[in-house]
A and B are shown apart, each in its own frame.
Chain A
Amino acid sequence: MSKHDTKSETEEANRMWASASFVGVLIIIGLPLWWKTTEVYRVALPYDKINAFETDSHYISTELTVLANDDETAQEVARQIEKAFQESDVIKLKITKKIIPNKLQHLLDSVADEQEALEDVGAAFNIKKHNTFYVVQRKPLYQDVWVGTERVAFFRDIKACSTIVKVLEKWIYQPSVLIGARSEIADAARQVRFPSGPGYHVVLSVVHPRPQELKVNFNARDAIEDYIGSFVDELTELHNFTLKSQWLHLLDFDFEATEVPGGRVAGAERLPLLLTRLEERAATHVSERPTLNLALYVVPCRLAPLALQRYDKEIPPPVQAFMSPKWGGVVFGNPTPEECEKQVYTPPVNLIMGTFLSQLRKLLGITDKEAQAGARLEALRRAAPRAWERDALLRLRALQQLASAETSLRSLAKLLGEISNIVINDEVGASINLAVESIHRATEHMEKADLLEAHRYSQRAFLAAETAFMEPSLLALLYFPDDQKYAIYIPLFLPIMFPVVLSLKNLLLWFRGKPVHKEKTD
């Protein structure tokens, strides 16, 4: 009998181990397998860091040195400037006061030309350093304040304080524009300039509607490379420019021109339609980068000279041109009657390219400077932008890119947090992490007045955020309604799991050594 018992015990043990092996395969191997093969791959993201972004609190520090002949002037000027810029939370000035050394003071007072004075100041102080500005006193000045192309502003004496402050506010630093760059709502300046980016294509299109009637002598390539080239060479820290040119022949456009004494005037409503025609043929969609279009429209002889508006009493400007924000500019080339007779038209290169340059400046973000009473802004002699205009652009772009990166990341994090079905693969995670880290570094550098580094990091943050936001793999929503998921799992796994789960109880009892009572009939 005992042998019988041991035999039945071993048999029972076998049955229990068989049950355990079912449990082992199905639950211990099956459940993790199910989890692993049907999960949505999502990389961990720094949600807390993204939510902690405060876009409105970014600011840039900048250095300002006040050089005056005596201590009192320096103190007063510095105090006025500090008071004016105290409330501005977007730009923080670090003002240092210095007395001009005697030798330099002597030079400044004796030299007649402002340019030479600039050179002398340049010899004494480092005015090539980014994000600095010098306010220097110089006695023999016609106006209160004089500003040139370098990072120096000359003022006459202590009575010019208010003018200095106005110049700094409206011309040099422009905190209103900076605030506009930081905010989400586009202000007037932002509506004109091109969005931020690592590079642009500048395309000069020569539009020639009647090649059979008129021959045009214009070397587009040399024109753009020399004029625009020398301008954009100065801006390499900001963007990468590629210069291109093309000829668009036989692109005829009906201006609905009305006759006026001295020429014709194009209908104002027709001008936007010209841009549409240009877009059709200019092939901008092929370029990878945003394109700045500069179009020279050679007006046919029968329409020349064509003007944009009536000039009854005023003297018409030498060049007729108009600009479209975020697209580019159009300049009309009007051939003279003699050129029409000879059937050869030579456009005035410097006038035309000069107009293009001024349009380009606006499109890139260098705003127009309105005249201030008592201050003189020296006119540009070369194509290149002014040094402090470059600084202003750097500040502007750094803030704009930073704000844009933060906004993108915030909306992306919100989207990814809410919809749990979107796949977040490694590249997206890496881009987002890179963007967050770059934002932090850029903020640090901006606070330390390290403008070039700040711009570099902010551009990196912007690009990484855009890459993550536009990643096409995010769109592959694994949208599977839950009830259909159950319809797929149940036919196989329910009948299999059911007895296995029920037998778990008996298994546990047996493992603990208690006798098992089987209750169910079968």
Chain B
Amino acid sequence: MALMRKYFVAGIVRYWLIHTDYWQTIANRVEIATPLNSWKRLIEGVYLYDHGIDPYEGDSFHESPIMLLFFHFILKKVPYLLPLIFTFMDILTAHILYKTSKAFVRLFEETQEKNKQHVAEESKTMLLNKSQLNEAPDYVLSVYLFNPYSVLNCVGMTSTVTQNLLISMSLWGAASGQKLLACIFIALATHQALYPILLVVPISILLADVNKGCNKCSYIRTLLAFVLCWGFLIYISAYIMDGSYRYVYNTYGFILTVPDLKPNIGLFWYFFTEMFEHFRLLFVCAFQINALALYVVPLTLRFHKEPVLLATVLIALSTIFRSYPCVGDVGFYLALLPLWKHLFTFMQQKFIVGCAFIITSVLGPTVWHLWIYSGSANANFFFGVTLSFATAQIFLITDLLFAYIKREFTLKHGSSRRIDDKPAKLVLQ
């Protein structure tokens, strides 16, 4: 009952905000709408497609042809249902996340039981009991439904709403052991935004864990299913565009080569505004490797026993380092954090990170207005705020990971910090 009330309230808030006068302002804000996901560009693309002009010929539309077809259908047949559709998708995402976190909690319990023998005596109190574990999904739901980032993301009617839905469906598919479901949805998410490809790794591990059996064959089967689904989607999109693969330059090519330098909450825009032409290619490659390839293998090797943490961290890292992030992505991984509330005691920078989030989120629009509308500030102000926001997110993630390994150590060796009755400290070496 409380659940239905939460859904209802969240739905009403979103629906009402879409119908206020502020909707246009919210949908146009740079933090919420990027060239990849903004509603304005979707309308433009659909309009061009409707009038027989190839939307990928110009520079305005960067969604996949499947989205183009989907929204073309909706805008032609039932345009008045759009706010309802977006609200419904967001609520559905929240519900799927709730069910997924329930499945994850069950996995925690099982792993905890399995590893009970390795836990030191004095740390047995740190183990999670059922009530603690069952609180987590409720918190996940509340955070996703009511945190301002996801609310604004939904109100802005950006396509990140669909992306969040697809990722949460794939996580649920992985958590409940349905390989095909997981692969289809992660392929759809990758087809739209490319960065969710990183999640193939934690999803394969999850599927292997849930479906007991030969691990290696499970990985290979998952990978194969993913590649086939993704290839099929690329082919379908080309079929929609009359057999031409030109859309690839406007979607994947756009994400990878970053030609549009519109400000957003990421690091790329000002860096490449001020970059020398000779070095541009090197740094684009460096940044994309940083976002896509650098951390996957090491984190997997370190956290392969905890695929849920791996998924959370990879989603967060791809949000911080991707070429066109938006607050919708931030809201999504923030919703996954309550799963790890047992780590909060070990985190040392909660206060700083929290304050930084609040301050930068408020300061961002202020300095943007000063720069663009008042003309009394300049681009450096907004850049500084963006940098601080990125730093705060980085601190959050690294703090989370440190808290995890500290808890792991404490569980194994107890909480005393003494060697031979001499004071000692925990160091990494």
Partners in one complex: yes
Least CB distance from B173 to A in Å reads: 27
Task: Decide yes or no: A37 and B298 within 8 Å by CB, A29-B289, A522-B427, A522-B429 being known contacts.
Answer: no
Our pick among A14, A33, A518, A521 for the contact of B282 (Cβ within 8 Å) is A33
Q: A480-494 CB contact bits vs B (8 Å, 1 = yes)?
A: 100000001000100
Contact B301 A18 (CB under 8 A): yes
Cβ of A350 < 8 Å from any Cβ of B? Answer: no
Tell me whether A125 is interfacial, beta carbon within 8 Å. no
Q: A37-B281, A38-B279, A488-B279 are in contact. Are A18 and B302 (CB under 8 A)?
A: yes
Known contacts being A25-B289, A29-B289, A522-B427, is A18 close to B298, with CB within 8 Å?
yes
Q: In the complex, what's the smallest C-beta–C-beta distance from A132 to chain B, in angstroms?
A: 59
**Best-surrounded residue of A37, A38, A520, A522 (most CB of chain B within 10 A):** A37
Q: Which residues of chain B in 278-300 are interfacial with respect to chain A, using CB atoms and an 8 Å cutoff?
A: 278-279, 281-283, 285-286, 289, 293-294, 297-299
Q: Compute how far the CA of A512 lies from the CA of B49 in the bound complex, rounded to whole angstroms.
A: 61
Q: Is the CB of A21 within 8 A of B429?
A: no
Task: Assess whether A22 is in contact with B278, with CB atoms less than 8 Å apart.
Answer: no
Given A15-B302, A38-B279, the answer on whether A22 and B286 have CB atoms closer than 8 Å is no
Decide if B428 is an interface residue (CB 8 Å cutoff): yes
Give the chain A neighbours of B351 by CB distance below 8 A: none
B429 touches A520 (CB 8 A): yes
Known: A518-B429, A521-B427, A521-B429. A38 touches B282 (CB 8 A): yes
Indicate with 1 or 0, residue by residue over A13-38, a CB within 8 angstroms of chain B CB atoms: 01101110110011001100110011
Q: How far apart are the CA atoms of A488 and B279 in the complex, in Å? A: 9
Known contacts A37-B281, A38-B282, A522-B428; decide if A22 and B302 are in contact (CB<8 Å). no
What 0/1 pattern do residues 503 to 522 of A give for CB contact below 8 A with B?
00000000000000010111
Chain A residues whose CB sits within 8 angstroms of the CB of B281 once the complex forms: 37
A478 at the interface (CB under 8 A from B): yes
CA distance A33 to B281 in the complex (A): 9
By the criterion CB–CB under 8 Å, are A21 and B297 in contact?
A: yes
Which residues from chain B contact A520 at a C-beta distance below 8 Å?
429
CB distance from B245 to the nearest CB of A (A): 25
Chain A residues within 8 Å of B298, by CB: 18-19, 21-22
A138 to chain B, nearest CB (A): 76
CA distance A492 to B289 in the complex (A): 13
- A50-94 vs B, CB cutoff 8 Å, 1 = contact: the mask equals 000000000000000000000000000000000000000000000
Interchain CB contact (< 8 A) of B294 among A22, A34, A480: A22
- Chain A residues near B70 (CB-CB < 8 A): none
B304, closest chain A residue (CB): A14
Q: Could you say which residues of chain A place their CB within 8 Å of the CB of B282?
A: 33-34, 37-38
The interface on chain A, measured as residues whose beta carbon lies within 8 A of the other chain's beta carbons, has a size of 23
Q: How far is the CA of A17 from the CA of B283 in the complex (A)?
A: 26
- A518 and B286 CA atoms in complex are apart in Å by 30
**Which of B278, B289, B297 is within 8 Å of A18, CB to CB?**
B297
Per the bound structure, the CA–CA distance linking A14 and B297 in Å amounts to 10
- A492 and B283 CA atoms in complex are apart in Å by 9
Q: How far is the CA of A14 from the CA of B304 in the complex (A)?
A: 10
Q: Which single residue of chain A is at the shortest CB-CB distance from B425?
A: A521
- Asked if B294 and A25 sit within 8 Å, CB to CB, the answer is yes
The answer to whether B427 and A37 touch across the interface, beta carbons within 8 angstroms, is no
Residues of A within 8 A of B301 (CB): 14-15, 17-18, 21
Q: Measured between C-beta atoms, what is the minimum distance from B49 to chain A in Å?
A: 36
Q: Is B276 part of the contact surface with A, judged by Cβ < 8 Å?
A: yes
B256 to chain A, nearest CB (A): 14
Checking A15, A21, A38, A521 against B278 with a beta-carbon cut-off of 8 angstroms, the contacting residue is A38
| A520–B293 CA distance with the chains assembled, in angstroms | 28
With a cutoff of 8 Å between Cβ atoms, the chain B residues found around residue A37 in the complex are: 279, 281-282, 285
Which residue of chain A has the shortest Cβ distance to B296 in the bound complex? A21
In Å, the complex CA distance between A15 and B304 comes to 12
Contact residues, B305-358 vs A (CB, 8 A): none
Q: What residues of B have a CB within 8 angstroms of the CB of A38 in the complex?
A: 278-279, 282
Please report the C-alpha to C-alpha distance between residue A38 and residue B283 in the assembled complex, in whole angstroms. Answer: 10
Residues of chain B within 8 A (CB-CB) of A30 are 286, 289
The smallest C-beta distance from B383 to any residue of chain A, in angstroms, reads 15
A495 to chain B, nearest CB (A): 12
A38 to B299, CA, bound (A): 30
Chain A residue nearest to B293 (CB atoms) is: A25
Residues from chain A with a CB closer than 8 A to the CB of B285 are 33, 37
Q: Whole-angstrom distance from the CB of B359 to the nearest CB of chain A?
A: 25
- Enumerate chain B residues within 8 angstroms of A22, measured Cβ to Cβ: 294, 298
Closest to B282 in A: A37
CA distance A34 to B293 in the complex (A): 16
Contacts of B286 in A (CB 8 A): 30, 33, 492
B429 → A minimal CB distance (Å)? 4
Task: Scan B407-429; emit 1 where CB is below 8 A from any A CB, else 0.
Answer: 00000000000000000000111
Which chain B residue shows the least CB distance to A33?
Answer: B285
Q: CB-nearest residue of chain A relative to B289?
A: A25
* CB-CB nearest in chain B for A34: B282
Cα distance, A520 to B400, chains bound together (Å) = 24
Chain B residues with CB below 8 A from A14, complex form: 301-302, 304
Q: Are B289 and A488 in contact (CB under 8 A)?
A: no
Give B116 Cβ to nearest chain A Cβ, in Å.
15
Q: Which residues of B contact A18 (CB under 8 A)?
A: 297-299, 301-302
User: Which residue of the partner chain A has the closest CB to B281?
Assistant: A37
Task: Give A19 to B301 CA distance when docked, in angstroms.
Answer: 10
Bound CA span A478–B278, Å: 8
Minimum CB–CB distance from B390 to chain A (whole Å) comes to 14
Q: Give Cα A518 to B289, complex, Å.
A: 29
Rounded to whole Å, the gap between the CB of B376 and the closest CB of chain A is: 30
Q: For chain A residues 130-184, which have a beta carbon within 8 Å of chain B?
A: none
Shortest C-beta distance, B120 to chain A (Å), equals 13
Bound-complex Cα distance A227 to B304 (A): 94
- Distance in Å from the Cβ of A476 to the closest Cβ of chain B? 11
Q: Which of chain A's residues has its CB closest to B297's CB? A: A21
CA distance A521 to B429 in the complex (A): 6
CB distance from B374 to the nearest CB of A (A): 31
What are 29 inter-chain pairs, A to B, with CB distance below 8 A? A14-B302, A15-B302, A17-B297, A17-B301, A18-B297, A18-B298, A18-B299, A19-B298, A21-B301, A22-B294, A22-B298, A25-B289, A25-B297, A26-B294, A29-B289, A30-B286, A34-B282, A37-B282, A38-B278, A38-B279, A478-B278, A480-B276, A480-B278, A492-B283, A492-B286, A518-B429, A521-B427, A522-B427, A522-B428
Q: Give the 3 A-B residue pairs with the shortest CB-CB distance, closest first.
A: A18-B298, A21-B297, A37-B282
Beyond the given pairs A15-B301, A30-B286, 20 more chain A to chain B contacts, judged by CB atoms under 8 angstroms and listed by A's residue number, are A14-B301, A15-B302, A17-B297, A18-B297, A18-B298, A18-B299, A18-B301, A22-B294, A22-B298, A25-B293, A29-B289, A37-B285, A38-B278, A38-B279, A38-B282, A488-B276, A488-B279, A492-B286, A521-B429, A522-B429
